[in-house]
Structure formats: C-alpha cells, structure tokens
Structure 1
Amino acid sequence: MTESGTDTCSDLIAAEDVLLFVNAAVTSTGQREFRSEAYQQRLSLDFLHEYVRVNYRNVYAASLALDINDHNAARVVEQLLRTAGEAGADQKRTEGRLIAARLALLPPQRVYRLFRALRAAKVGNRRTRAILREWLAARPDLGHDAVKYRAGLKTAARHFHLPLRTATGSAPAAGELGDFLFKPGVRPRYEHRLLDAYRRAHHEQGAIYELPFTVAEGFAAKHGVERSAFVERITPRMTRLERLRTQREAGADAEGAPERTDLSAMPLTRLALYTLSLTIEERVRRRAELTHALRTSARRVAGPYAGTWGRVAAVLDDSYSASGSGEKRRRPLAVALGGHFLLEALAAPGSYGAWWTSGRTDPLLVRPFGPTPLGMRVVDALEYAPERLVLVSDGWDNAPPGLAGEVLRVWRTRLDRERRTTVVHLNPVYDADGFDVRRLAASVPTAGIRDAEDLPALVEIAQFAEGRTGLAELQAYLDRRIESFLHEYEGGRAT
C-alpha cells in the first residue's frame, strides 16, 4: 500500500472512531436499555470517553458543540478539567471557551453535580476555578440556587473558593448568602425574599407557597398539608413540566389538579413522551389538542426548513423493544413519534408517508408491541418513490432477521445506483456490546439520536458514517459547528 493510501486508511479509521463516540454520546446516558444493563452501558461509555480523549483530544472537546446529551456533555467537561495537564496552551483556550458555552446550556443541577464530582477528584486548579466562577457569576439569582441547590452551591463556594455574587441586581448580599449556607439560624431574618421564606417555612405554613415547588413539597409534607390543597395553592410557582406531572398524578380533571398547561409550547420529544404516557382512551378524547400541539412543536423545530425536504418517507419502529427500560420508559417510541411529526413538517406539503412496523396508521395511538418487520416496511416505503427515506429504529430487524439490510443493499447496489433516494437510519438506542448504535446495512449511514429535535442535524452528520469521508472532512465540519456554537454563546453574552 502506498504512503498516501496508508494515510487515507488511517484517516477513515480515525473518522470512524470519532463517529463511534459521537453516536454513544448522543444516545447513551449510562442507564439500562431494553437489551443491556446499566453497568454494561457505563463500562462501554467509560472506554469510549477514555479512548477518544487520549487519542483525539481536540475532537473530544469539539463534541461539546454537537448535539450530545447532557450526561455526556457534563462528563466531557469533567474529563477535560481533570486532565488539563495533557493539553497545550492553545488547546486550553479553545477548551475553556467550549466548556463555558456548554455549561451555560446545561441544567443547573447537572452543573452543581459536576462541582461535586470535581471536588471528589480533588480538582481545584486556577483554570477550573475561573470557569466555574464565570458560570456562577452568570446565574440570575444565587438566592434561588441557595434554596433549591443548597448542597451544590455550598460545595462550589467552599471547595473552589468562589465569590457568592452575581452580575444581576436580584442576588442577596454575599454576607447574607454566606450566613444562609454556612451559619443557618444566625440571622433573625433575611432581606432576600426566598431566603427569608425558607427560614419562615420551618414554622409558618403560608411561607411554603413562596418557595419553588420541589422545595415546598418537603415542607408541605412536614406540616401535614393535604396534597390537593397544597397543589392548588402552589400552582403559580410550578414550571410547565411540574404542572404536567401533577396533572398525571391527580388526573387532569380531578379536583385540585393544576390548570392545564399549553402543550404546544413544550419541546417536541417531551411532548411525545407526555402523549405516550396517556391512556389510549385519553389520547382519543384529546386528539385535537394533542395533534395540534405536536404539529405546532414540530413546525417550530423545522423553522425555515419546513417544507424543503421534498418527498419524504419514514419507517418508524413501534415494536415491543420501543418500550425502552424502567429508566428510559418509552423513550425510543417517543423519538419515533416526535420524528414522525417533524418529518411531516420538513416534507413538501402532501409529500410525506409514514410506515410503522406494527402496520398502524394512526400515530397518536401507537404503543410498543410485537416484532420488528423492518424489511417489509422498507419495501413499502421505497414503493412511495421518496427523495429521502428516514428510518427511526433500534436496528433489531427480526421478522425475518436481516431482511431490511438485504433490501437496502439490493436497492443501493442494483436499483438505485444513481442515489436518487437518500437513505438515513437514526437509532435511539446505544448498543453497549458493539460500542455503537446498531446498523442495518453497511451502505446506509447510521447516526444515534436521543431527541427528535436533533433529527435535521443528525441527518447531516450521518453522511460521515458511510465510510467514504476521512478525518479532514469531519474535522472541517466540526470546526464549522464550533465556530457557530461559540459565536451564538459569546455574541449573546456580549449583548
């Protein structure tokens, strides 16, 4: 083999390694899946994080600009900060910017959990303190964090010696906040409204309803407040998801249930999960409301690309394995349901067809049941003559086994050599044993997916999974994503 051929081969292998990690970081959260236990998921993720960080550190950091899930984003940040000695000066600058931008997107509870992990690992260098100090200074109200994330904020202040102040005017004075965290009971009252409400809630029931819902729940139980009365009064303090949760607990029309929230404002995958949590009877009764909300959310995700994908066919997996696991209940099916409405929005008007593996034609009534006859559904979808064929499935084609892969191989090599139809497989389940998401055919690009909202971007990145694109092209794509990611964050911060 020539030297250039060797270089090309090594580049392809490197690109495949990187895509393995991206697929894992998008789909896996270290929790149990339908066909693998939690410890298998964690061991597989541990290996990939270590392997990619050591061999491709620049790409490892660049993954923070991609649509990886929060679990793996926090883990990448932790590993980069723990191994700062392995990076050069330029690498540290880029990593610092990427870490700051990604921390701003993470839920605060995950960042405070990261604080505790770094403390346990005895990481407290100047670079780490500077990054965490910047994140803490950008928090809108540290008084709220002191009440809701008390342990995390105490860890940050004590171990990393971070100042307890923010750039906004709503934060309590540093001395008052310090007393609340480290000397509870020393002050007879606090100027900050939430801090004082927390103090009074220990002995005054009325103060409970001034606190965040999750904090107030504990005090309500302590004072023996009846659940229905508590929910009715605390409703104004609830987030949208908290309202939905309490609606499911009490029944949406039950006495004391919170007022029904506007579903169309919800993220698409969360809305799909909520829809699937309802009984079939309730979905039928609320068909108009749920369908309108799903289509509105999907159009919001599609944005300017709505109606631009031409003729689109989708093969969607609603087999029994789409039920997921106890930790990720119905997650694969929710991704397929959200993907259905998003693909409908992306397709040209009147040019979308969907084939569920069960043969159902009503997406609102899907449920995980039966085998996975992907091959038969792929044949049906290809007869639709689409410009794009998108498959959303865990890749376990078992009725009969392997038929989908053979159909796609023959289609690509014999019937559609001109590639008139673009075929992409999106897999919502990480295969811990294979260190990747399960593929249907070598000729079909496959990418991992966790949220239906990421579908358009993942269809784009799936082109690199066909085995014909080297590391240089992949690195150029990552550079563009980094530039866009940092520009959006730093531009917004400057504003």
Structure 2
Amino acid sequence: METFGDLIAADDVLLFVNAAITATGQREFHSDAGAQRLSLDFLHAYMLGNYRDLYAGVLALDINDHNAALIIRRLLESAAVAGVEQRRSEGRLIAGRLALLPPQRVYGLFGALRRAGVNNRRTRALLRDWLSARPDLAFDAVKYRSGLKAALRHAHLAPGDGEIGTFLFAPLSRAHYDTPVLETWRRAHFEQAALYELPYTVAEGFAARHGVPRKVFLERIAPRLTRGEALRLQEAARAQGPAAARALRTDLSRMPLTRLAGYVLSLPAEERVERREELNGALRTAARRVAGVHRGTWGRVTAVLDDSFSSYGSGVKRRRPLTVALACHYLLGALAGDYRGLWTSGRGDALLAHPVGPTPLGERVLDALETGPDRLVIVSDGWDNAPPGLAAEVLRVWRTRLDTARRTSVVHLNPVYDAADFDVRRLAASVPTAGIRDAEDLPALVEIAQFAEGRTGLAELKAYLDARAARLTEGSAR
C-alpha cells in the first residue's frame, strides 16, 4: 500500500519530467529567460536533494538535451554524497545519455565542469570513454577544437594520435599533416578552394578571412552542409537570390517530423501554397515513419491544436509551440484510423498555419467532443482566454457528468514550461497533462500520462523508469 509520501514523490517526479521535456532556460511568450532559469534551477536542486535515484533515472526518458546536461553536471558535482552503488548506477545512465547528446553539447558540458572545478575520477573516466567512442577524433579536432582541447587538458588525457595533439596545441607548427581533414584545415589558410572541403562552421570563418562573397560561399559550400544546417540557412539564402536558395534546397523525405514542421512554418505562405504537394507529402511520409507499427491503430482521434498568437513563442524559440502542434497534427493523422484536427483559429488548412488571435480552447474542445472520439488530444500552452476557464469547465462536466465511464481518453500535451508554476500549465484537474518537446515523443508521452492521471503510483513509476534505464544502458553498450 502506498503512503502519502509516495504519492507526493510520484507527483514531484512527473512535475520535474514535464519541466525537463519543455524548459530550456530561454524566453517564452509569457516569461523571460531569467525567470525560466531560476525556476528550472530550483527544480533541479529540489529533485537532486530529495530524490537522487529518481532524478538520475529521468536521464532515460525523452527529456531535452539542455536538462540532460544539467542533470549529468549536478550528479557529477555531487558525487561525494552518493553511495557506491548509486555512483555505479549513475555512471551507466550518464554514459548512456552522453552517447545520445550532440557532441557540441558534451564539449560544452565538460567545459562547465572544468569551470566548476569538477575533476573527480568518475568524470575523467566518463570523458575518456566518450572520446574513445568518437568515430573521428580528427574531425572533432577541427570542428570542436577549443572544446576538445579544454576537455583533454582538464581530464589530463593525451590524444591517441600524435598529429591531433600537435594540431590542437601548435596547429601551424607543421608544414604538412598526413590526416586529410587536418591538412585541409592547414591549406585553407592560404587556398580558398580548400575551405569548401571543411565543415560549414569552420569554413565560414575562412570564407570571411578570404573575403568570399556570401552568395558565392553559400552556393559552393552547399554540398558540405548537414541537413539541419541547410534548413537553418534557407531563409538567409533566399535573400542572396534564387541560385543560392536552389543550392541549399534539401531532400525533405528523410527529415525528422518536428524539424520538418518548423521548416515548413518558416516558409512564406505563397511558397507553401506553391509547394503544397511536396510539403504535404514530406510531412505525411515523416509522420508515417514515426507512427511505425502503430499506424492506424488509435481508432477515432480528434485533436484540438493551438495556433493562437502565443503559439509564436519568443524571439529565441520562434514558432516552437506552433511547430509542435503542426507536427502532432500530421502524426495523429497517421496514428488514427479516423482523424480530425481542429485549430483554435478555425483554420482548415494546416499547411498555412500561423500564430493569430486569442485562444478559444473551450469552444474547440466542445466541437471536438461532439465528434465522439475514442481519443481527444489537446496540444496547447494551456492559456485558455476566450473566455478564460471555459475549457476547464467543459472538461470537468464531461468527466463528472457525461463520460463517467471514460469512453473517451483525453490528454493535454503542452510544449511550453510555465516558470511561475514550476510545471507546464494544466487545463483541468481531471485531464492528464504532459510536457512535449518533439512530436516524435507523442506516443511515449501518452503512455506517461497514465501516471499523471493517478491510475498508477510510485512503484509503477519506478518500474517504468527502471525499464527505460535498462533500455538506455543496453543501447549504449551495443
């Protein structure tokens, strides 16, 4: 039998998971960056101090990279207070999560540990193992030179290749490198042609040094761009003319769903209309890929999707809430046997979605329930304001008077962290709310929502975290 303390612990963990999925310490529509960071720092300190094992276990969930790095840093900073078995378990979780983080995030993490004076044996071992698993350390030496150099110094490690050590600490002391990428970097100092063989972030600095016009540089560097870099540069390329824009046009068929949705929303409405067939096809293909074996198995699904003005997000997270809603729209269409998406603006063309107007969630929830769905999914930041509180009242009456047998499953997915409440904003006590960062996580978040609904307790939550941790550490070992 669970105690009152167990219920509090389960609630605290779920609250922290929502924050770790959505919060990045950056400005949101309703709160500034300072409030976001302060709120998030408090949650991390609270979880570490009260539920260390559960705090570490959250690394196995689909939290964002910012919070994964914060958890790893705090665990390593406080290693002295952990028991032997705790350190062993945490080490496996940290190693598994480091393998999933982007390299620039890992180098940034070890830089933060260096500045904090954290240099215990476990930290050095984790860094050594992570570096030994890197597929091309010479490439890292070129692309992340300062980060790699600082990490090696901090952990008292020597690079395995003598050329890499020379490159990092005395790069121009050699007249020739046998390693191709290092030699290309050396030649780029005096040969313009060589810079186009380097990674974009490195080549950009050499292009500025050589005075290469931006238009020429973008056209010639295009084959070296990663898919993400090409998408980020699309808007800048359009300003440089049609030739540069065509050079950066990328194959959308293999793009991740949420990133693809963000790209679509960055395009002018005229271009979306002009490329409607291509964009719709790419989004549906990406959604079907995410749905996998669950495609068409969710029965009748109706979604209420927030495209109000607050879905713009902020200057540093432009259109992020709307991006998640658009990606969820296509994914739910793939998961459902029968699907209907209702936007708060009343718009019927999802491809032309843009942030506009108030948030009449209550009206849209009423419309959605009238369709008699098996599942109702609400994707919104939770600021119901036209009129305020209507959605909560509609959902309360629906649960307590009209659907006491719970024939319709209702879940609220919120892409925005509310710093004032230390959680994502909820619509109603009777409806489970989960934070969401990427639409790809939607099926797993609906699974987590069962814990937020109070149908399961701390023991089941711990078992779920243990299962996810085992999956993470097994994947890392492979």
The TM-score by the shorter chain falls in which range? over 0.9
SS of match in other structure, 1:31? coil
CA distance in 1, matches of 2:393, 2:132: 56
What residue in structure 2 maps to residue 308 of structure 1?
297
What residue in structure 2 maps to residue 431 of structure 1?
418
Counterpart contact for 2:308–2:344, Cα < 8 Å: yes
- Candidates 202, 206, 210, aligned match of 1:223: 210
1:58-110 CA deviation, whole Å, 9 max, x = no partner?
11111111010000001111111111112111111111111111111101000
What residue in structure 1 maps to residue 3 of structure 2?
8
1:349-370 CA deviation, whole Å, 9 max, x = no partner?
xx10111000011100111000
Counterpart contact for 1:12–1:469, Cα < 8 Å: no
CA distance in 2, matches of 1:18, 1:38: 23
What residue in structure 1 maps to residue 447 of structure 2?
460
1:254-287 CA deviation, whole Å, 9 max, x = no partner?
1233152111211111111111001111110010
What residue in structure 2 maps to residue 443 of structure 1?
430
1:112 aligns with 2:100: no
Matches within 5 A, 1:361-400: 361-400=348-387
CA distance in 1, matches of 2:320, 2:234: 20
Counterpart contact for 1:324–1:331, Cα < 8 Å: yes
Deviation at 1:231, TM superposition (A): 2.0
- Candidates 219, 234, 249, aligned match of 1:247: 234
- Candidates 197, 200, 211, aligned match of 2:198: 211
1:454-482 CA deviation, whole Å, 9 max, x = no partner?
11100110111123432112111111111
Q: For residue 329 of structure 1, what is the amino acid of its counterpart?
A: R
1:339 aligns with 2:328: yes
Unaligned runs of 5+ in 1: 166-173
SS of match in other structure, 2:173? coil
Q: For residue 196 of structure 1, what is the amino acid of its counterpart?
A: E
- Candidates 225, 250, 258, aligned match of 1:261: 250
Matches within 5 A, 1:94-173: 94-165=89-160
What residue in structure 2 maps to residue 196 of structure 1?
183
CA distance in 1, matches of 2:376, 2:327: 16
Deviation at 1:226, TM superposition (A): 1.8
1:20-74 CA deviation, whole Å, 9 max, x = no partner?
1100000000000000000000000100001001111111111111010000001
1:296 aligns with 2:285: yes
1:270 aligns with 2:259: yes
What residue in structure 1 maps to residue 40 of structure 2?
45
1:79 aligns with 2:67: no
CA distance in 2, matches of 1:138, 1:377: 50
What residue in structure 2 maps to residue 483 of structure 1?
470
What residue in structure 2 maps to residue 323 of structure 1?
312
CA distance in 2, matches of 1:243, 1:123: 37
What residue in structure 2 maps to residue 168 of structure 1?
none
Counterpart contact for 2:238–2:244, Cα < 8 Å: no
Greater displacement, 463-472 / 275-284? 463-472
CA distance in 1, matches of 2:121, 2:464: 32
CA distance in 1, matches of 2:256, 2:57: 25
TM-score by length of 1: 0.94
The alignment of Structure 1 onto Structure 2 pairs a total of residues equal to: 476
Q: For residue 189 of structure 1, what is the amino acid of its counterpart?
A: H
SS of match in other structure, 1:255? helix
Counterpart contact for 1:133–1:163, Cα < 8 Å: no
Q: For residue 19 of structure 2, what is the amino acid of its counterpart?
A: A
Counterpart contact for 2:192–2:210, Cα < 8 Å: yes
RMSD of aligned C-alpha atoms?
1.2
SS of match in other structure, 1:251? helix
CA distance in 2, matches of 1:374, 1:475: 34
CA distance in 1, matches of 2:284, 2:88: 42
Unaligned runs of 5+ in 2: none
Q: For residue 263 of structure 1, what is the amino acid of its counterpart?
A: L
1:176-214 CA deviation, whole Å, 9 max, x = no partner?
111111122221111111111111111111211111111
CA distance in 1, matches of 2:260, 2:317: 15
Deviation at 1:330, TM superposition (A): 0.2
Counterpart contact for 2:377–2:411, Cα < 8 Å: yes
SS of match in other structure, 1:433? helix
Percent of counterpart pairs with the same letter?
70
CA distance in 1, matches of 2:262, 2:234: 14
CA distance in 2, matches of 1:456, 1:403: 27
What residue in structure 2 maps to residue 407 of structure 1?
394
Counterpart contact for 1:15–1:469, Cα < 8 Å: no
Counterpart contact for 2:218–2:237, Cα < 8 Å: no
CA distance in 1, matches of 2:47, 2:162: 44
